[in-house]
Amino acid sequence: MTPIPKNRFLPGSLLVLCILMGFCPRLHAQDKDHLLLDSLKYVLDQAPNDSLRLKTTFNLVYQHYIVGEYDESIQYNEAALELSRALGSKPDEADALERYGVLYMTLADFEKALENQAKAAEIRKELGDIRLMAGNYSAMSNVYQQQSRWEEATQANQAIIAAGEEIGDRELIGTGLLNLGLLDYKNRRFHHSISRMEEALEHFYAINYARGIAFAYNNLAIAHRNLGHYRDAMSWFTKMQPYTRESDVRGRTRLAHNIGFAHYMRRDFDQALPFAQEAYSLRKSVNDEVGVFSTAQLLGSILVQQGQFADARPYLQEAFTLAQARENPTERSTAYLGLGIWHARQGAFDSALIQFDRGIAMAQTATDTAIQARIHEEIGNFFVQEGLYPQALEGYLACLQLMEGNAFGKGTIYRKLGEVLAQQKEWSEAIEYYEQSIVINESIDHTGAVADVLVALGDIFREQEEYDRSIDYYQQSLALREEEGIGGLATVWQGLGATYLASGQPELGNQYLNQALEKHRQEQNPEGMAETYLSLAQPNEGTARGLT
């Protein structure tokens, strides 16, 4: 959430506020907030001139915003705008319009947010205040992103870069590049995203702009995480930590959320949970509704993966309630997706499909093809779980049609199409899809996905009794996982063990299967343990298995 601009506290009359706050250290934060509001209103009533009245009104706009009282914030901002115009103060008029933009963005009234930011930018351009004008463009970019209007968002950030070049401001240039990197990230063009952010870092390093450096580190970590480069991701997160002050609650929150999500992507759910819980608690403490939405979704997803469905439901429901209240179609479609997965994992397929259908309809309203594609992918996953493979193929193919220009997504769906065809023992077609997936994922350096497809190819060639080829694919996957710090080692060891057993090498087979079994135990993965026990129990030329 873009923070509303904050005025400095006023001298003189407001000194009493500092004294009051100092004498009330045991008050809860909420009590202190309202004490401050009451004091500001008193100062407003007693203000001897319009200048002090305007500054106090702006402070009331900010303070009501901070405590989540948006209607009151809007009322005071209306008064500030009228007074600014009455005084003929163009800078203050632009400030009030900008505050309207932030407030309406928070309330998901995107057209009003854009209208007011654009008006503020126009005034600041006339005044020659290029830096503040660029801030309006940045806010407009955020609104366009909420509406999935990527071209307009790109143009807004190009305007920021042009403004920075006009006045020789490396902070602005870096900010524009960083924002373009975020647009690439949101459209899953991760390599473009990394390139832009590294370019932004060069500008931030040159002026020692700590906030920009920290933000770039954070988003570089996220981009690498989504490419399956978990060691690189954790390296960037580690670099970010010295830039995150204890007093910076939002910075600490972002870091905790993103580290939790990195562990989630690695399927290290036990590691992910405490970070997500920390981020959730911090976001609740500062009334960050947008942040609570995303972290509640993450917490719910982690708990679903752990099979803790009763614990997951309140978080997913909270995310849904927040999305409904904000009337944000992208958030609402994401919430429907989370609830659909919750139902599907428990076998409640009719309920799952209802949620998925609602999510698709909402995503179509937002013209958000990325969310539509994700839901079609989950529909495919759901039919795979049900064993309805022709319907699963339809779901994945529908997803593929929505992924124009999304190499990352295509690589994933080609893999899943291969998996469905492998279940139907259509080996040659499955291999073809797997090979297409590898080509795409290698082209974007998505090593995590390549490692998964290599395991799938190992499985196919074991089924076809081509054991040497099977073992070669497993070993390639193992090497990638060890090099990049990617999870899923138990799956590879299990495949190797089963292949060595099938090829008549029980000693090596038992060794790998017991390694897999121990790893599944550590990860509390009962399904993996059951599958490994089945492999260990298979007869092989009369040789008993060494169960541990």
pLDDT in tens, 118-155: 999 999 999 999 999 999 999 999 899 888 888 999 99
Closest alpha carbon to 62 in 16, 119, 111, 106: 106
Residue 193 · residue 182 · CB < 8 Å: yes
311: confidence class by pLDDT, cuts 50, 70, 90: very high
What's the pLDDT at 408? 79
The whole-angstrom separation of Cα 476 and Cα 114 is 51
Residue 173 · residue 165 · CB < 8 Å: yes
What's the pLDDT at 14? 40
What's the pLDDT at 12? 37
Residue 543 β-bridge partners: 540
DSSP 8-state assignment for residue 543: B
Fold of 244-322: 1.25.40
What is the per-residue pLDDT across 459-470, written as a single tens digit (0 to 9) for each?
Answer: 999 999 999 999
What's the pLDDT at 3? 53
What is the per-residue pLDDT across 277-309, written as a single tens digit (0 to 9) for each?
Answer: 999 999 998 888 888 999 999 999 999 999 999
Tokens of 275: 């970070």
The whole-angstrom separation of Cα 13 and Cα 52 is 10
The whole-angstrom separation of Cα 285 and Cα 29 is 10
Dihedral class, residue 305 (left if φ above 0, else alpha if ψ from -120 to 50, else beta):
alpha
Residue 447 · residue 419 · CB < 8 Å: no
> What type of residue sits at position 84?
S
| Domain boundaries of the chain, sorted by first residue | 244-322, 488-548
Q: What residues contact residue 296 under an 8 Å CB cut-off, 6+ apart?
A: 280, 315, 316, 318, 319, 322
Query: For every residue of 106-135, which 3-state class applies, written as one string?
Result: HCCCHHHHHHHHHHHHHHHHHHCCHHHHHH
The whole-angstrom separation of Cα 264 and Cα 281 is 18
DSSP 8-state assignment for residue 9: P
The whole-angstrom separation of Cα 212 and Cα 200 is 8
> What type of residue sits at position 130?
I
The whole-angstrom separation of Cα 345 and Cα 224 is 28
Q: C-alpha 412: how far from its chain's center?
A: 18
**Average pLDDT of the residues in 513-535:** 80
Residue 335 has pLDDT above 90, yes or no: yes
The whole-angstrom separation of Cα 357 and Cα 370 is 15
Residue 375 · residue 333 · CB < 8 Å: yes
Residue 225 has pLDDT above 60, yes or no: yes
Q: Which of 396-405, 409-418, 495-504 has the lowest mean pLDDT?
A: 396-405
* Element holding 202 (H helix, E strand): helix 190-207
The whole-angstrom separation of Cα 472 and Cα 219 is 35
Q: Sign of dihedral through CA atoms 510, 512, 515, 516?
A: negative
What's the pLDDT at 163? 93
197: confidence class by pLDDT, cuts 50, 70, 90: very high
Name the residue with tokens 């292949």: 499
Name the residue with tokens 């319907």: 391
Residue 541 has pLDDT above 70, yes or no: no
> What type of residue sits at position 296?
A
Report the percentage of the chain scoring pLDDT > 90: 49
The C-alpha torsion from 328 through 330 and 332 to 335, rounded to 10°, is: -140
What global pTM score does this model have?
Answer: 0.56
Tokens of 447: 């090593």
What are the two backbone dihedrals, phi and then psi, of residue 543, each rounded to the nearest 5 degrees?
-85, 125
Q: C-alpha 25: how far from its chain's center?
A: 37
